[in-house]
Amino acid sequence: MANPLEISDLKRMAKRRVPKLFFDYADSGAYSESTYRANESDFGRIKLRQRVMVDMTNRSLATTMVGQPVSMPVALSPTGLTGMQHADGEMLAARAAEEFGVPFTLSTMSICSIEDVASVTTKPFWFQLYVMRDRDFVMNLIDRAKAAKCSALVLTADLQILGQRHKDLRNSLSAPPRLTPKHLFQMAMRPRWCWDMMQTQRRTFRNIHGHAKNVSDLASLGAWTAEQFDPQLSWKDVEWIKERWGSKLIIKGILDPEDARMAADTGADAIIVSNHGGRQLDSAHSSIAMLPRIVDAVGDRIEVHMDGGIRSGQDVLKAMALGAKGTYIGRPFLYGLGAMGKPGVTKALEIIRKELDITMALCGKRQLTDVDRDIIAESPF
């Protein structure tokens, strides 16, 4: 496909170019995947007001997220194993985001390390943190992110234990992949992916390398997660994390108004309305369904962002209209990365920017900062 026009085009390309176990990792949810599907489908239930005879010139999508200027209110989400969608994937995605003027968020469970990404970027990126029982290691991660001049820390609150993701279990997911007949066949069917991966040494979890010994496959990762990820994580922990970090702090994984109010009490700079892409608690509400309730619950006490299900610029606009000050894309940029490498990430961002710009204009707005619930014709939430 010479010129992908939609995120779904990039998804089809990625499916043809990425081995099945890694494509499925990006394109799956927990249990029955009902929340994963609802994240996407619930956007379609929101209807927009078409406006005519308005000045549509001199439009701007520029705004800020936690005080940082952005060309549009879209950040790249922290996604684990990004470097298995394409060799050196986190480094490529970070460079594409920097050039586009949007934030890139590196996952703790990335293939490329904090230092790897810092070596190829010239502007600050964001780092996502999982809290583990080994507080010394957590503080070391925070210090490494500070040394890399990361400008925001994204604290994930909704993965104290790992949700059960059936596709990953059936695929015997690992990084690097096991050399079983099944996996060898999958990789043999993707020679370009194999060639690219042969050119890099980054094939395992480099942020936790040396700390989490022998963690490569899903079984060992699950065991290490059960041992290390702190199931007693509480709101009190935010205080010492915030003090150690000393800069912008975003809490990710808020899906309940009461939790949103408690997050605001911590003094964090922003929250992300998120259900972990439908990969943790299945049968939970979609992120977009909970967004307006959480916005109403916290008012202007804390900046509200959201992720989950965004597949177009229209989805971004709907989230902004319902009160989000920023949005995040995970799968769309992963599809682009898997399909085309760094140009694919740029293409995903270009697709979303064009759709966002045109839809905003047809709703009668020139400045994204002026968008509010007035552009919503009908909302089921």
Active site residue ranges: 276
**How big is the chain by its Cα radius of gyration, in Å?**
20
Q: Which of 17, 159, 137, 19 is nearest to 80 (CA)?
A: 159
**Cβ atoms of 138 and 187 closer than 8 Å:** no
d(CA 316, CA 333): 14
C-alpha–C-alpha distance, residues 127 and 144, integer Å? 10
Amino acid at 70: V
Residue 129 bridge partners (DSSP): 155
Question: Residue 31 region, left (φ>0) first, then alpha (ψ -120 to 50), else beta?
Answer: left
Strands of the 326-329 sheet, one edge to the other: 74-76, 326-329, 303-307, 270-273, 248-254, 152-156, 126-129, 105-106
Q: Dump the DSSP string for 332-380.
A: HHHHHHHHHSHHHHHHHHHHHHHHHHHHHHHTT-SBGGG--GGGEEE--
Cβ–Cβ < 8 Å for 65, 103: yes
User: Hey, is 174 helix, strand or coil?
Assistant: strand
Contact 328, 74 (CB under 8 A): yes
List CB contacts of 94: < 8 A, sequence separation 6 or more: 76, 104, 106, 117, 120, 121, 125
